[in-house]
Structure formats: structure tokens, C-alpha cells
Amino acid sequence: MNAPADSGARAVKRALISVYDKSGLTELATALHGAGVEIVSTGSTAKTIAGAGVPVVEVSELTGFPECLEGRVKTLHPRVHAGILADTRKDDHLAQLDELGVAPFELVVVNLYPFTETVASGAAPDECVEQIDIGGPSMVRAAAKNHPSVGVVVDPADYPDAAAAVAGGGFTLAQRKQLAAKAFRHTADYDVAVASWMTSVVAPSEETAGEPGATTGAQFPVWAGATWKRSATLRYGENPHQGAALYVDTDAAPGLAQAEQLHGKEMSFNNYTDGDAAWRAAYDHTEPAVAIIKHANPCGIAVGADIAEAHRKAHACDPVSAYGGVIATNREVSVEMAEQVAEIFTEVIIAPSYADGAVDVLSRKKNIRILVAQAPAESGIEMRPVSGGLLLQERDVIDAEGDDPANWTLATGTAADEQTLRDLVFAWRACRAVKSNAILLASDGASVGVGMGQVNRVDSAHLAVNRAGERAAGAVGASDAFFPFPDGLQVLIDAGVRAVVQPGGSVRDNEVIEAAKAAGVTMYLTGARHFAH
Ligand SMILES: NC(=O)c1ncn([C@@H]2O[C@H](COP(=O)(O)O)[C@@H](O)[C@H]2O)c1NC=O
């Protein structure tokens, strides 16, 4: 590959190579040597190169100073850094190099000590500290700053292109800029990992609120850093006039953002937000469960003896709204379920896996997006931007004391029989996925009416009852937060709901409980709340 004359290409005569990850190293060194490049290198990198029969100059020969302090000082020397940082477009820099007897480097190849991997392995703090690379980032940053004169390579995947560029007359200026930007991203990722660990683990702030589940300095450090990598540009955002892209958190456990798409049109912005809500809602249940989501709210959630049954029950909740929905399952999609879904216009289906033949059945619909994803994180910190800042909170998971029916208080009515209690537990879990104010009516392990996103609980109750129709009579109900007045509950009572679960905690709990009592409705108080905004 010959660089065009006006491309700013600079012939590579001398390369500095210092890499922890030795993959592809001998091939690169061989290619550089073949192109007439002199190679200078550190300790074990030099040994690997020499072992491949490629001539190499040890960096200690260049500096006249031994690598010392267990490798803490190898390349941190003016003879190295002057060679990297000289702006060879400038005559006075070249003259100074001459005076100092330093030759410039046109190529720097570095990758860093595996700090993140060492921390993840559970290594002791001293060992982690030893894996904080100092000399490597210094060279990378120096070379990236000096990209008008130097090419910098930090990723073994780029070696073949680098070798080709060198053989073709050197990197173009455009290539050196791209490489420099990648190099600064590499050191930025690295520094964020080190700074996060230092802040959260080595020197956490002392404040603790003391309450169970309360905010502590360790959960919410004085500084929070993360880096995101763009993994897709999207056709548009929430609306067609908004541009949008998908980024993946380089340190987080994989989730929907890393899902593999097996079939269908490109995922849209709204597919991702609905998909995330569906994915999480399905995994709020331990039995085979299906959640069907529209605009981040469930139009059907159900559990079943198998996934096909769960899907039938979830779909039956609100077939009108399920049209064009996003479906998620917490179990493998069976062929039986696939046949059912194939009959319904569905935007996206997300599952942990698909039985043999299920994808073929689903793919009969050209556009349905079929995704395989890893189970969502069971806990962790979630972020929400607000103007001028960011809110961080612990993820709301179904594991609070109040989510276990053993800890519920029977406020009034007869204790629920086994099936009723199962339905109450299901309704309570399903309600977590509904935007507040949330009222969810359920029967036989399936939602039958969902009221969501209203600014008062009475309207949510009306919505749930209207959607349930005749199915409200005999159903159970869950409310994501307490009834502030008896009015919302009364709507459910009037529709024939026979048992209700709610957090309790209103100053008017007595009035609410009295209304249930007067109607002969069983009411459990959980003491836990599941607002979702
Ligand atoms: N301290 C230094 O002067 C220094 N110079 C280069 N390194 C790192 O040493 C590693 C390569 O060492 P070796 O060639 O010995 O395997 C590279 O990951 C490089 O980033 C250094 N190590 C850590 O800071």
C-alpha cells in the first residue's frame, strides 16, 4: 500500500515497541524489519522479538540506564521521550535531537499492563497497584500528542494495517490522527479504570447513612467515571428528527446493548428502550415468564407451566395493545411459542436462547427483530441523566424484605389460599415493571388489566379495571405504592377485585383498610414500594 505523495506520509525508520500482550508481535517485528525499520524494545518484548530472529536494540542500551525497580522504570528516560516527542516538522527540534545525539521514533507500539483484569481476578491491592502501567501510558500519550510526526499503535488487531502502511511508505497524516485518537481513548479507558478503583476501593469516602440499603460512600463515590464505545449508529432517535446511536459501557456486564441479532430489521432507539423494559420485566419472575411491552409499559405479563403458555396468557391480557409490541422471555423460546408469535405483528423478541427451528418459524416474518441476550444484571447501579447532571441509584430489584410474602402483613380479610397468594405474589412482581402510578390486576398467573403512568392512583385503577373488563371480577390487584385515600381501592372493589397487595404506609391506611374490610376484600401490606418513573 503506497501512500499518496500529498498525504503527509512519513517513512518509518525507527520503531519503539513495548507490549504486555505479545500476540502478533513477532509477525509485526518481522514485517518492520523487512521494511528496513530499526526496532528498539523493552525487556521481555525485546526477548520475544530476538527469539524470532529479528534484530532488536534493548531500551537500556539506548538510555545507558538499566531497567530497574521491578520494571517500574524502563522507558521513563529523556532519550526515549525526546525521540518520541520531537516535532520533526521543526528544524530546531531536529537540531536539538542532533545535539543530544537522539534519533527520533516514527512508530511507537505499546499496550499496557492488564490492570482491569488483575482487579477482576480478586488480586490483593499491592498486586493491583503493581499492574498500574506508568511508562506505557506516558509513551502512548507522548506519541499520540506528536501524531504529526509519529504513528502510535495500541491494539494488536491493528498490526497488519500498520505493517502494510510502513511497507507502503509510512502512515498518512490521516492514519496517524486516527491512531492517535484511538491511543488517547485507550489511555482514557485505562485511567478511568484506575481512578474508579482508587476512589471506590482504595480510598472510599467515609460517609455511611447506616440504614439497611442506604446510601454509602462506597456505592456512590465522590467521583464516578465510565467510558462508552459506540457500537451502532441508529436510523434516528425517539422521533425521526432526532439523531441517535447506541454505546456500550466498556466495563459493565453485557446486557441488551450487547445482544446478538439473529434476524430482522435494524434495532431502533425505541426498540432498545422497550426491549430493556421487557427484558427486565421477564426476569422479575422465576417461573417461565413472558412480558409484552409497548412504550416501556407492559400490555401483558404472565407466567406459565411453559413459555408457550406464558406467552398465550400474556398476549390475552391486551391483544389490541400487544400489536407491534416487544416480547421478552426468561426461558428458551420453544417452537410452540414461536408459532404463536409468528401470527402476531411483533417488533422485537428477546430471549436467552431459541429451540431448534424456533428462529426459522419466527423468521417467516421478514421484519421481526430476533435477539439473543444475556440475562439482565440482577443488581447494580443505574444512571439517569438530568439537566446538568446524572442521577445514580441502586437498581430496584425484587429482593426487598417486603417482596417476600412471608413478611407481608395481613391487614384485613381472610388469609389468601395458595392460588390467591401465588397470584398476589405474581401481581406484586409484575407491578414493578409498570410505570407509576401502577395498578395491576391479575388472575391465574397473568395480568388481566394494567393501569399505568397516571398522575393519580384513581385514574390508574380505572384504567386497570377498564382494560380487565369482566376479568376484574375475582381478580387480585397490586398497587406499586400505597393508596393515599380509599378512592382508588374503591374502584377495584366495585369491579369485584377480591384481594389486594400494596405497600401500606399512608397516613390514611386505616381508612383504606376499613374500605377493604367493609367489602370483605383481603388486603396485604408489603412495607416495600416499587415506583418506576
Ligand atoms: N515503567 C516503565 O518505564 C515502562 N515502560 C514500559 N512499560 C510497560 O512494560 C510493558 C512491556 O514490558 P516488557 O517488554 O518487559 O514485557 C508494556 O506493557 C509497557 O506499557 C513500563 N512499565 C510500567 O510502567
**Tens digit of each residue's pLDDT (9 = 90 or more) over 324-360:** 999 999 999 999 999 999 999 999 999 999 999 999 9
Residue with cell 390475552: 316
Confidence at residue 429, expressed as pLDDT on a 0 to 100 scale = 97
**DSSP-H helix ranges across 334-477:** 335-342, 358-362, 418-431, 457-468
Q: Which of 262, 289, 267, 416 is nearest to 353 (CA)?
A: 262
- 19 Cα–ligand 1 center, Å: 7
- Per-residue pLDDT at 207 exceeds 70: no
The complex's ipTM works out to 0.96
* Percentage of the chain modeled with pLDDT above 70: 96
66-103: b (≥16 Cβ within 10 Å) or e: ebeeeeeebbebebbbbbbbbebeeeebeeebeeeebb
Catalytic residue among 13, 93, 177, 295: 295
- Decide: helix, strand or coil at residue 217: coil
- Per-residue pLDDT at 210 exceeds 90: no
3-12, 128-137, 200-209, 478-487, range with the lowest pLDDT: 3-12
Catalytic residue among 77, 145, 182, 265: 145
CA dihedral 472, 477, 479, 484 (to 10 degrees): 80
**How many Å is the maximal CA-CA distance in the chain?**
98
In this prediction, residues 177-193 reach a mean pLDDT of 97
Dist. CA 489–CA 439, nearest whole Å:
10
Question: Per-residue pLDDT tens for 460-490?
Answer: 999 999 999 999 999 999 999 999 999 999 9
Question: Per-residue pLDDT tens for 139-156?
Answer: 999 999 999 999 999 999
239-243, 322-326, 397-401, range with the lowest pLDDT: 397-401
Residue with cell 391487614: 411
- 38 Cα–ligand 1 center, Å: 19
Dist. CA 527–CA 401, nearest whole Å:
8
- 187 Cα–ligand 1 center, Å: 14
In this prediction, residues 10-26 reach a mean pLDDT of 97
- Beta-carbon-side half-sphere exposure of residue 166 (alpha carbons within 13 Å): 31
Cell numbers found for residue 358: 424456533
- 112 Cα–ligand 1 center, Å: 7
Residue 250 banded pLDDT, cuts 50, 70, 90? confident
Dist. CA 440–CA 490, nearest whole Å:
15
Dist. CA 16–CA 109, nearest whole Å:
6
The ligand 1 atom at the shortest distance from the C-alpha of residue 140 is 20
Cell numbers found for residue 225: 467515571
Confidence at residue 60, expressed as pLDDT on a 0 to 100 scale = 93
- Per-residue pLDDT at 5 exceeds 70: no
In this prediction, residues 388-393 reach a mean pLDDT of 94
Confidence at residue 3, expressed as pLDDT on a 0 to 100 scale = 43
- Per-residue pLDDT at 208 exceeds 60: no
Residue whose CA is closest, atom 14 of ligand 1? 45
Confidence at residue 319, expressed as pLDDT on a 0 to 100 scale = 96
Cell numbers found for residue 192: 478511568
Residue 2 banded pLDDT, cuts 50, 70, 90? very low
Residue with cell 523493552: 42
Dist. CA 503–CA 436, nearest whole Å:
14
- The total of other beta-carbon atoms located within 10 Å of residue 126's CB is 7
Reported for 462-470, long-range contacts at CB under 8 A and 24+ positions apart, including other chains, are: 462/491, 463/439, 464/439, 464/440, 464/492, 465/441, 465/491, 465/492, 465/494, 465/495, 465/497, 467/317, 467/318, 468/441, 468/495
Residue with cell 509477525: 27
- Per-residue pLDDT at 133 exceeds 70: yes
Residue whose CA is closest, atom 16 of ligand 1? 44
Dist. CA 78–CA 188, nearest whole Å:
24
Mean pLDDT across the chain = 94
- 130 Cα–ligand 1 center, Å: 11
Confidence at residue 265, expressed as pLDDT on a 0 to 100 scale = 95
Confidence at residue 211, expressed as pLDDT on a 0 to 100 scale = 62
Known catalytic residue: 145?
yes
Residue 249 banded pLDDT, cuts 50, 70, 90? confident
Sign of dihedral through CA atoms 85, 88, 89, 95? Answer: positive
Q: Which of 74, 72, 177 is nearest to 131 (CA)?
A: 72
Confidence at residue 478, expressed as pLDDT on a 0 to 100 scale = 98
Q: Quick one: which H or E segment has residue 22? A: none
- 454 Cα–ligand 1 center, Å: 59
Residue with cell 390508574: 460
Dist. CA 144–CA 63, nearest whole Å:
22
Pocket test for ligand 1, best of 16, 17, 20, 84 (most atoms within 8 A of CB): 20
Confidence at residue 204, expressed as pLDDT on a 0 to 100 scale = 85
Residue 443 banded pLDDT, cuts 50, 70, 90? very high
Q: What's the Cα-to-Cα distance from 9 to each of 12, 35, 173, 336, rounded to whole Å?
A: 9, 15, 6, 61
The ligand 1 atom at the shortest distance from the C-alpha of residue 137 is 20
286 near 375, Cβ under 8 Å? no
The ligand 1 atom at the shortest distance from the C-alpha of residue 112 is 18
Question: E strands of 4-154, at which residues?
Answer: 14-19, 38-41, 57-58, 107-111, 151-153
- Per-residue pLDDT at 375 exceeds 60: yes
Dist. CA 520–CA 259, nearest whole Å:
48
Confidence at residue 253, expressed as pLDDT on a 0 to 100 scale = 83
Known catalytic residue: 295?
yes
In this prediction, residues 412-419 reach a mean pLDDT of 97
Higher per-residue confidence, 65 vs 271: 271
Q: Which of 83, 194, 192 is nearest to 128 (CA)?
A: 194
193 near 183, Cβ under 8 Å? no
Confidence at residue 8, expressed as pLDDT on a 0 to 100 scale = 84
Residue whose CA is closest, atom 5 of ligand 1? 135
167-171, 209-213, 320-324, 352-356, range with the lowest pLDDT: 209-213
Q: 183 Cβ partners below 8 Å, 6+ apart?
A: 140, 141, 143, 144, 152, 154
In this prediction, residues 377-381 reach a mean pLDDT of 85
List phi, psi (to 5°) of 523.
Answer: -135, 125
* Percentage of the chain modeled with pLDDT above 90: 88
Dist. CA 341–CA 308, nearest whole Å:
9
Ligand 1 cavity residues, CB under 6 Å: 18-20, 42-45, 71-76, 110-113, 133-136
Residue 377 banded pLDDT, cuts 50, 70, 90? confident
The ligand 1 atom at the shortest distance from the C-alpha of residue 111 is 18
Dist. CA 110–CA 123, nearest whole Å:
24
- Per-residue pLDDT at 370 exceeds 70: yes
In this prediction, residues 437-466 reach a mean pLDDT of 97
- Decide: helix, strand or coil at residue 494: helix
Pocket test for ligand 1, best of 62, 67, 73, 74 (most atoms within 8 A of CB): 74
Does the bond joining 270 to the residue before it have cis omega, within 30 degrees of 0? no
Dist. CA 110–CA 153, nearest whole Å:
6
Confidence at residue 219, expressed as pLDDT on a 0 to 100 scale = 78
Q: What's the Cα-to-Cα distance from 406 to each of 467, 513, 527, 531, rounded to whole Å?
A: 30, 20, 12, 22
